[in-house]
Amino acid sequence: MADALLSLRGVKTDIGRYHILHGVEFDVPEDGLTMLLGRNGAGKTTTLRTIMGLWRAAAGEIRFDGRDIARLPTPDIARLGIAYVPESMAIFADLTVQENLVLAARSGPPDPQRLDWIFARFEALKRFWTLPAGNLSGGQKQMLAVARAIIEPRRLLLIDEPTKGLAPAIIANMIAAFRELKDGATTLLVVEQNFAFARQLGDTVAVMDDGRIAHTGTMASFAADEALQAHLLGLGMGEHQ
Amino acid sequence: MKRDWLPLLLVPVVALVALPLVGSATSWVTLTVAGLAMGLMIFIMASGLTLTFGLMDVLNFGHGAFIAVGAFVAASVMLALSPWMTAESIWLNLAAVGPAVLAAMIVSGALGLGFERVIVRPVYGQHLRQILVTTGGLIVAEQLLKVVWGPEQITLSRPTELRGAFLLGDVAIEKYRVLAVAVGLVVFAAMAITLNRTRIGLLIRAGVENGEMVEALGYRIRRLFVGVFVAGSALAGLGGAMWGLYQETITAAIGAQVAVLVFIVIIIGGLGSVGGCFIGALLVGLSANYIGFIAPKVALGSNILLMALILLWRPQGLYPVANR
């Protein structure tokens, strides 16, 4: 297995008086796609937000490329080459599609070739380029949120439920885009509820339960172990198709 | 996208509805110019406050302190340059007003920097404490103004060439109000260009919508907020200087008095919206002047009534900021 680009060790996060993460530990191998799975409320979103510095870890280490980033402010974490797509998408509704992407391209105007590559996968963004993002449909907003994260090459993408509410055709485009990113030396950590999507893309998997990591390993072995899936995710046979 | 024109139409609608009620066309023109001038001065004072709320959810009840300090500093400079103020030359008049306004903006901006660091920063994200602490800051600032400038009101005459009125037929339009309209429009245009045509403006607009996501994109929003806070304080200083000349008397309470109008304007406009603040300020200025003429007894409550009516129509204000 490749070296870990991101490692979490004993990460604890509290939100108010609630203890959400109770010592999360897992590795995200470089240049691969790691799926972070788990039931609702297991702590997946909190884990991503903690990595991004949006919620502070009360204890533990978060190492990115060997450097502890657990105490860094969010902008400094982003500047290390980590992009985040929240579950809420958090697009800027009053800004146009173009402005959303221009803002996300920190180093200057977006690279035209990169834009063409994005438009080839998410054609709607080109069509609605000058429209306020608030006018896009839910699926189009999700495309924009992902496009914003990949408008410039990043080392690590943290993506929270990218397929939520998306039509199958858009999911297929999303899979193609993530595969190409992975082949292009981008590391991805994706939170996902759609196991069919997860098993198609994931190289490795970490499964959370009640604020802890309950299982880590390769996606191939996890996908083959239906009993483990049933135990950790509560999946029935029908959901494996 | 369908642009929301309805709030924009309110301004001409209010003006046209007032025409038959005022009765005389000449009075109506005079009142309209006076209302626009008053509205634009309030806009100058309010624009920074609405952006600081939009960016960091900061309720700064001490904003009136920057207005008052601007008025006092400008008055001091103008009084020191009184020979130029009383000269019958527009250039000498402007040579006195220009440095006075500049000094007001610099001192208010510097005060804003200190206010943000000492008073606002410790209470980020705590609305109740923000209200208490910034109100306390305003009270302290008022008392300090009395210590520095004395408890008596300062009488300030406008420069010679800005007194009196232009006569257009039977219509008299005060020269100072024309200047106030011009300055207000220049400030609005500069803000519109900055917000819509520059990267810093793009960041501010995005930050007003979702500051957390702006940080996740790698931008330090707190620095941006400090910059906006200082610029907003400087604009409040400019507005205070102009308001002082408009009233021709300055007291330590000038900031707190006009801050009531400022808060009404930013609530009407939609917290965080500069465009809404602009429309709200014009509506407040126009309605105050029309109602003051038509029914002086209800003039005091006219702005509260206007705010209540607009919030009944649009509870988030005229142009609610998305995601808020």
Query: What's the pLDDT tens digit per position in A124-155?
Result: 999 999 999 999 998 899 999 999 999 999 99
Average predicted confidence (pLDDT) for chain A: 91
Distance CA(A196)–CA(B255), nearest Å, equals 62
Lowest mean pLDDT among B103-107, B169-173, B259-263: B169-173
What pLDDT score was predicted for residue B3? 66
Q: Does A135 touch chain B (CB under 8 A)?
A: yes
How many CB atoms sit inside 10 A of residue B123's CB?
Answer: 17
Q: Does B209 touch chain A (CB under 8 A)?
A: yes
Query: ∠A210-A212-A214 over CA atoms, to 5°?
Result: 95
Cβ distance of A103 and B210 shorter than 8 Å: no
What pLDDT score was predicted for residue B276? 93
For chain A, give every residue range classified as CATH 3.40.50.300: 4-81+154-232
Distance CA(B256)–CA(B262), nearest Å, equals 10
Distance CA(B2)–CA(A240), nearest Å, equals 44
If you measure CA to CA, which chain B residue comes closest to A152? B217
Q: Does B323 touch chain A (CB under 8 A)?
A: yes
Q: Does A131 touch chain B (CB under 8 A)?
A: yes
For residue A103, give the nearest of B1, B212, B217 by CB distance: B217
> Which of the four pLDDT bands, split at 50, 70 and 90, describes residue B1?
very low
Average predicted confidence (pLDDT) for chain B: 91
B109 in Cβ contact with B237 (< 8 Å) = yes
Q: Report long-range pairs for B122-130 (Cβ below 8 Å, ≥24 apart).
A: B124/B56, B124/B58, B125/B57, B127/B57, B127/B59, B130/B58, B130/B59, B130/B60, B130/B61
Task: Reply yes or no on whether the pLDDT at B168 is more than 60.
Answer: yes
**Cβ contacts of B322 on chain A, cutoff 8 Å:** 92-94, 134
Q: Please compute Rg for chain A using Cα positions.
A: 17
Question: Could you give the 3-state DSSP secondary structure of residue A107?
Answer: coil
B38 in Cβ contact with B181 (< 8 Å) = no
What pLDDT score was predicted for residue B64? 94
DSSP-derived secondary structure letter, A111: P
Dihedrals φ, ψ of B23, to 5°? 95, -45
Dihedrals φ, ψ of B211, to 5°? -65, -35
Cβ distance of A90 and B213 shorter than 8 Å: yes
Q: What is the pLDDT of residues B252-306, one digit of tens each?
A: 999 999 999 999 999 999 988 899 999 999 999 999 999 999 998 888 788 999 9
What pLDDT score was predicted for residue B190? 93
Q: Which two tokens stand for residue B4?
A: 């929301």
Q: What is the pLDDT of residues A68-103, one digit of tens each?
A: 999 999 999 999 999 999 999 999 998 999 999 999
Task: Reply yes or no on whether the pLDDT at A241 is more than 70.
Answer: no
For the domain bounded by A4-81+154-232, which CATH number is listed? Answer: 3.40.50.300
How many CB atoms sit inside 10 A of residue A181's CB?
Answer: 19
Q: Could you tell me the residue ranges of all domains in chain B?
A: 6-12+23-313
Task: Reply yes or no on whether the pLDDT at B79 is more than 70.
Answer: yes
Residues 62-121 of A with CB under 8 A from B: 73-75, 78-79, 84, 86, 90, 92-95, 99, 102-104, 106
For residue A78, give the nearest of B1, B203, B217 by CB distance: B217
A62 in Cβ contact with A46 (< 8 Å) = no
What pLDDT score was predicted for residue B55? 77
What pLDDT score was predicted for residue B320? 82
Cβ distance of B210 and A52 shorter than 8 Å: no
**Cβ contacts of A92 on chain B, cutoff 8 Å:** 205-206, 209-210, 213, 322
For residue A197, the distance in angstroms to the closest alpha carbon of chain B comes to: 26
Q: What is the pLDDT of residues A11-64, one digit of tens each?
A: 999 998 899 999 999 999 998 999 999 998 899 999 999 999 999 999 999 999
For residue A78, give the nearest of B205, B218, B321 by CB distance: B218
> Which of the four pLDDT bands, split at 50, 70 and 90, describes residue B88?
very high
Provide the b/e sequence for B64-96 (b: ≥16 CB within 10 Å).
bbbbbbbbbbbbbbbeebeebbebeeeebbbbb
Q: Which two tokens stand for residue A78?
A: 């982003």
Task: Reply yes or no on whether the pLDDT at B95 is more than 50.
Answer: yes
**How many Cα atoms within 13 Å fall on the side-chain side of residue B10?**
24
Cβ distance of A95 and B323 shorter than 8 Å: no
A219 exposed, middle or buried (CB, 10 Å; 0-12, 13-18, 19+)?
A: buried
How many CB atoms sit inside 10 A of residue A103's CB?
Answer: 21
- Sign of the torsion formed by the C-alpha atoms of A138, B212, B58 and A18: positive
Say how many residues make up chain A.
241
Question: What is B11-66 written as a DSSP string?
Answer: HHHHHHHHHHHH--HHHHHHHHHHHHHHHHHHHHHHHHHHHHHHHH----TTHHHH
CB proximity list for A32: less than 8 A, separation 6 or greater: A2, A182, A187, A188, A203, A204
For residue A189, the distance in angstroms to the closest alpha carbon of chain B comes to: 16
For residue A11, the distance in angstroms to the closest alpha carbon of chain B comes to: 20
Q: What is the pLDDT of residues B218-233, one digit of tens each?
A: 999 888 889 999 999 9
Distance CA(A53)–CA(A99), nearest Å, equals 25
Q: Which two tokens stand for residue B33?
A: 């110019």
B66 in Cβ contact with B240 (< 8 Å) = yes
Cβ distance of A106 and B215 shorter than 8 Å: no
A207 in Cβ contact with A215 (< 8 Å) = yes
% of residues, chain B, pLDDT over 90? 76
Q: Does B322 touch chain A (CB under 8 A)?
A: yes
Distance CA(A161)–CA(A31), nearest Å, equals 20
